[in-house]
Structure 1
Amino acid sequence: MTLNVQAMEESGCQLLSAEPPLKIQDRQKPGSKAEVFPQFCSISSGVCNGLMMGLLIGFSSVGFASFNDDPNRPFTLSDSQKGSLGSAQWLGAAIGTSISGMASSKLGRISLIRGSLLPYIVGWLMVRHASSFGVMYAGRFISGFDLGVVSVPYGTYLSETTRSKIRGRATTVLSAFFTLGALINYTISLFLAWQSMALVNAAIPLLFLPAMLYSPESPMWLLSQDRVDEARRSLQRLRGFSTNIQKEFEEMQDHIRNAETAKMSWSDILTNWTYLKPVILMIPVPFLRHFTGWGIIQSFTLDIFEDAGLQHVMNPRVGCIILGTGQLTVFFCSGYAMDKLGRKKATIFSATLMGLSQLSFALYLYLESKPELKLENKFGFFPLIALLVCMLAYSLGVGSFYFILLGEVMPQRIRSVATGLISMINTSAGFAAIQSYYSIVAAAGETTAFGIYGIVCFLLVIYAASIFPETKGRTLMDLEKQLTESKNLNCMIESVRHGGPSSPQAENPLVKGRRAPLPGSRENGSVVVSPACS
């Protein structure tokens, strides 16, 4: 298969060299039909990770229930064991992401993506043939570890191979495929037992193999490895063989040249506020995102519906399908909304609606616990409506917020290292949120659990509104310049240092010392000058 890819690359190179020279005006413009198929393949390769994790989460919701319904099951799952299995892939992913950035930097994006299929399939086969809780846990852990190792290359590959005008939409597709994976499990659980579900989940990612084999390596990564000719061929394939890529390729070269003037280790990052700032701003995002409760709802949808009494008015499994279908539909629409409204506004609206629906569901659970009210007879569909609104709102912005930020706010010079750390924090936060759900319910009840998730939604609103810049329509180079030279955190640090607002004349600690200039930076002697705080 590798030989086929190389042959395709060589044939592409021959095609470029064989065609007669064309004037720039004769070439197709960026965004032409020539790049539709290459962009489709690169996006398909980049979003497969979301689908694979979605399959694991969807199985948590309905597969474990099917397992306990099987009269020939080898063992029985308790609530605490379901919580452990539901979070096993997150624990594996947390460990996998610890080496993801290094692996992505050394081996390349698409190579890791292609190699991720085999371990994932092995994990599902272990679940299918599990004879004990330990074997089933190990299978889910292995699949999660595999996805953790490739978590950085998936998101980075999307951001480095798609154009800025569709980057938000492409990243949204990643989140949409996450939901699609869960929906597939909700649907097939009506017809298949847990063993067959596991086999289907193992086979589905193979559908993406042709797109992975066609997709070239990231041109940005190739340039970082000084493989200039390969980078040019890669970009040419991504943009179409009849598209002029000269300007974009030169911008990439300039960006890489400035970003990699000096390699940065963690010790360098920790002592340089210019690059530490995006890392600090990103750290709270995974915790806020996961503790909004979206993962709990997707992982334990069936149990939540049954505990809320939805079975009095409809089949809870059908409710799961309705929830997943609605969420998937909105996800595909949200890409357009985020590109039109902007990532920031869409996320604020999304988190606000999530918070209101979570608190409303918590109130319903509190009232439903009072038998004399008989809410299941009067408002039996309310659990479905409340959680549907919550997950539809999640799909509008919060679902893509993390992935977009991860791909857009990290400077190229520290992207592989820092993105690996943030991805590890993200998967650790997912593990903590899923693992703690049944413990919170046992200790304080579902009302308290969903009340907490609702409050966290509003904390996310405050954080998104006050911290992050709008990334809509911005190139990665522009965003890097703003985030490494913006005034917001500079002003905060100056206030702490001087006990009040910083003045334009105050020394900017974020730019103290010599570093490589970014595109568009202004230099004054040995210091790169950033805008003053106002």
Structure 2
Amino acid sequence: MSFREENEEGRDIRKPFLHTGSWYRMGSRQSSMMDKLGSSAQVLRDNSVSVVFCVLVVALGPIQYGFTGGYSSPTEADIINDLALSISEFSIFGSLSNVGAMVGAIASGQLAEYIGRKGSLMIASIPNIIGWLAISFAHDSSFLYMGRLLEGFGVGVISYTVPVYIAEIAPQNMRGGLGSVNQLSVTIGILLAYLLGLFVHWRILAVLGILPCTILIPGLFFVPESPRWLAKMGMMDDFEASLQVLRGFDTDISIEVNEIKRSVASTSRRTTIRFSDLKRRRYWFPLMIGIGLLVLQQASGINGVLFYSTTIFEAAGISSSNVATCGLGAIQVIATGVTTWLADKAGRRLLLIISSSGMTASLLLVSVSFYLKDIFSEDSHLYSLMGILSLVGIVTFVIAFSLGIGPIPWVIMSEIMPVNIKSLAGSVATLFNWLTAWLITMTANLLLNWSSGGTFTLYTVLSAFTVVFVALWVPETKGRTLEEIQWSFR
């Protein structure tokens, strides 16, 4: 390629590349980037959708996350029979993934900070693989518990790292949609576990659970590291090379480079944030929003509702509850896919308000249905009608959840955290998310035995509070760079 290219009108159309104040010719610049990024640049150099490719690779992590969550549902009866477990022992098995995820959430920020986003995903994949192998070869509860804890640890790291990586590599006009791919992948993983669980033995299903991470590890060698992490760590040459590959070799990245450099200029790779610093609004406000959204996401009772869906299907007169559960999983995938398309069009804040409002109305319908069912006799036509209304409410709730509260909090969390507290704040927010998920899972049975109507009334109140929280405090982040979002909190 010649050093000077001209278009039909004779104008110089060579693109400048900012690199420590110098102009580099495109040919030498491409060669330098190929040397720095190796296999990732080789794969992506001719790919106009390189960011999408990177997102699809790391999306294998959330698929693993969803598969772990969905595994216990179709395997419960077989595992209890084969290993002679009690219901309480299997309940412990199911809840241990949340416990492991809390430990993983605590470690996730520091791992992503010091070994990078790619490195932490590789680390997270290893306990997932070992955990699935332990479950597949289990002959008593000890191996089941150990495997579930290891899986949970890996999922805890993945749940923080993937949305952060996607937010840091995506262009501002695609960040909402690509960020929503994280939750879409989770729902796909759940659906895969439900579907495969209908046809294969629980040990074979555990072996199949290894596949996402075994593909993810080699896949990470073909995607670049997060340019913002590289910039924060002071690796400016690698930072610019990574960003150029993500944006395309024909794109002028000088403006974005300057914005990112200005954003990290006030921080050092060894800067330590003290808890006393979190009193400053630029830190406590985004941290409050991140924690609030991720806690309210789980406090809506989504895990308790999905756990109880089988009983609701039976009450509505559906004989094959397992097939119905698969149908519910498919609905969740479709609704989350719609959010992926809407996130950069409608905006995050509007989707959150619509979603939480729909959840509130749906849960209110379910709670009223259960209250009224207690009034009518079982052979009454109205009793059957209340069962159908509760089914409609549950399906509508899952759709409303998937349209906003499911995927968007992870997107916003990854967007609003300032770069110098991202590891601490992200870990804390993710920890609170998993702690709330564990509390909801552990209390769902007790609450439902106390009062089905009362339980869904409680979830209704929490969903209504989510509407208020979003309307008062959550900012719109659509169409803004990460640097613009974080500067706004100052």
**TM-score (structure 2 length as normaliser):** 0.86
Match of 1:436 in 2: 443
* CA gap 1:46/1:296 in 2 versus in 1, 3 angstroms: farther
Structure 2, unmatched stretches of 5+, are: 1-23, 33-43
Match of 2:487 in 1: 481
Q: Deviations over 1:431-464 (max 9, x none)?
A: 111121112223x133322221122111111101
In structure 1, what is the Cα distance between the partners aligned to 2:412 and 2:158?
Answer: 17
Match of 2:212 in 1: 204
* CA gap 1:58/1:318 in 2 versus in 1, 3 angstroms: same
Q: Does 1:75 align with 2:74?
A: no
Q: Does 1:43 align with 2:55?
A: yes
Structure 1, unmatched stretches of 5+, are: 1-12, 22-31, 485-534
In structure 2, what is the Cα distance between the partners aligned to 1:102 and 1:268?
Answer: 19
Q: Does 1:64 align with 2:43?
A: no
Q: Percent identity?
A: 24
* CA gap 1:46/1:261 in 2 versus in 1, 3 angstroms: closer
Q: SS of the residue aligned with 2:402?
A: helix
**Does the CA contact (< 8 Å) of 1:310 and 1:316 recur in 2?**
no
Cα root mean square deviation, aligned: 2.7
**Does the CA contact (< 8 Å) of 1:309 and 1:376 recur in 2?**
no
Q: Deviations over 1:188-216 (max 9, x none)?
A: 12211222221112223333344322111
Measured after TM superposition, the shift of residue 250 of structure 1 is 2.1
Measured after TM superposition, the shift of residue 240 of structure 1 is 2.1
Q: Within 5 Å, which residues of 2 pair with 1:421-460?
A: 421-442=428-449, 444-460=450-466
User: What amino acid is aligned across from residue 248 of structure 2 in structure 1?
Assistant: G
In structure 1, what is the Cα distance between the partners aligned to 2:29 and 2:285?
Answer: 48
Match of 2:396 in 1: 389
User: What amino acid is aligned across from residue 73 of structure 2 in structure 1?
Assistant: S
Match of 1:312 in 2: 317
Match of 2:287 in 1: 279
Alignment match of 1:90 (pick from 78, 94, 98): 98
Q: Deviations over 1:147-170 (max 9, x none)?
A: 223443222111111111111101
Number of aligned pairs? 454
Alignment match of 1:331 (pick from 326, 331, 336): 336
Q: Deviations over 1:274-294 (max 9, x none)?
A: 322222333332221101121
| Larger mean Cα displacement after TM superposition, 228-237 or 271-280 | 271-280
Q: Does 1:420 align with 2:427?
A: yes
Match of 1:468 in 2: 474
Q: Deviations over 1:392-419 (max 9, x none)?
A: 1111110122101211111112112211
Q: Does 1:342 align with 2:347?
A: yes
Measured after TM superposition, the shift of residue 306 of structure 1 is 2.9
In structure 2, what is the Cα distance between the partners aligned to 1:417 and 1:393?
Answer: 31
User: What amino acid is aligned across from residue 76 of structure 1 in structure 2?
Assistant: L
* CA gap 1:220/1:58 in 2 versus in 1, 3 angstroms: same
* CA gap 1:267/1:293 in 2 versus in 1, 3 angstroms: closer
Q: SS of the residue aligned with 1:116?
A: helix
* CA gap 1:196/1:367 in 2 versus in 1, 3 angstroms: farther
* CA gap 1:83/1:16 in 2 versus in 1, 3 angstroms: farther
In structure 2, what is the Cα distance between the partners aligned to 1:144 and 1:234?
Answer: 31
Q: Does 1:411 align with 2:418?
A: yes
**Does the CA contact (< 8 Å) of 1:87 and 1:434 recur in 2?**
yes
In structure 1, what is the Cα distance between the partners aligned to 2:455 and 2:48?
Answer: 45
Q: Does 1:54 align with 2:71?
A: no
In structure 2, what is the Cα distance between the partners aligned to 1:123 and 1:386?
Answer: 36
* CA gap 1:425/1:263 in 2 versus in 1, 3 angstroms: same
Q: SS of the residue aligned with 1:269?
A: helix
In structure 2, what is the Cα distance between the partners aligned to 1:109 and 1:87?
Answer: 27
Measured after TM superposition, the shift of residue 331 of structure 1 is 1.0
* CA gap 1:213/1:381 in 2 versus in 1, 3 angstroms: farther
**Does the CA contact (< 8 Å) of 1:66 and 1:189 recur in 2?**
no
Q: Deviations over 1:214-266 (max 9, x none)?
A: 11111111111111111111112212233222222222112111344982423
Match of 1:17 in 2: 28
* CA gap 1:237/1:292 in 2 versus in 1, 3 angstroms: same
**Does the CA contact (< 8 Å) of 2:356 and 2:404 recur in 1?**
yes
In structure 2, what is the Cα distance between the partners aligned to 1:434 and 1:204?
Answer: 25
User: What amino acid is aligned across from residue 75 of structure 1 in structure 2?
Assistant: A
**Does the CA contact (< 8 Å) of 1:173 and 1:335 recur in 2?**
yes
Measured after TM superposition, the shift of residue 55 of structure 1 is 0.6
In structure 2, what is the Cα distance between the partners aligned to 1:15 and 1:197?
Answer: 50
Measured after TM superposition, the shift of residue 48 of structure 1 is 2.8
Match of 2:277 in 1: 269
In structure 2, what is the Cα distance between the partners aligned to 1:161 and 1:390?
Answer: 32
In structure 1, what is the Cα distance between the partners aligned to 2:232 and 2:305?
Answer: 41
**TM-score (structure 1 length as normaliser):** 0.79
Match of 1:180 in 2: 188
**Does the CA contact (< 8 Å) of 1:34 and 1:239 recur in 2?**
no
In structure 1, what is the Cα distance between the partners aligned to 2:319 and 2:383?
Answer: 11
Match of 1:141 in 2: 149
| Larger mean Cα displacement after TM superposition, 350-359 or 81-90 | 81-90
In structure 1, what is the Cα distance between the partners aligned to 2:94 and 2:174?
Answer: 33
In structure 2, what is the Cα distance between the partners aligned to 1:377 and 1:273?
Answer: 53
Measured after TM superposition, the shift of residue 132 of structure 1 is 2.4
Measured after TM superposition, the shift of residue 471 of structure 1 is 0.8
**Does the CA contact (< 8 Å) of 1:292 and 1:453 recur in 2?**
yes
**Does the CA contact (< 8 Å) of 2:61 and 2:216 recur in 1?**
no
Q: Within 5 Å, which residues of 2 pair with 1:178-257?
A: 178-257=186-265
Q: Deviations over 1:481-511 (max 9, x none)?
A: 1123xxxxxxxxxxxxxxxxxxxxxxxxxxx
Q: SS of the residue aligned with 1:76?
A: coil
**Does the CA contact (< 8 Å) of 2:129 and 2:214 recur in 1?**
no
| Larger mean Cα displacement after TM superposition, 457-466 or 328-337 | 328-337
Measured after TM superposition, the shift of residue 141 of structure 1 is 1.2
| Larger mean Cα displacement after TM superposition, 456-465 or 47-56 | 47-56
| Larger mean Cα displacement after TM superposition, 314-323 or 169-178 | 314-323
Q: Deviations over 1:92-124 (max 9, x none)?
A: 111121122112111111111123222101111
| Larger mean Cα displacement after TM superposition, 213-222 or 272-281 | 272-281
**Does the CA contact (< 8 Å) of 1:120 and 1:142 recur in 2?**
yes
Measured after TM superposition, the shift of residue 381 of structure 1 is 4.4
* CA gap 1:102/1:122 in 2 versus in 1, 3 angstroms: same
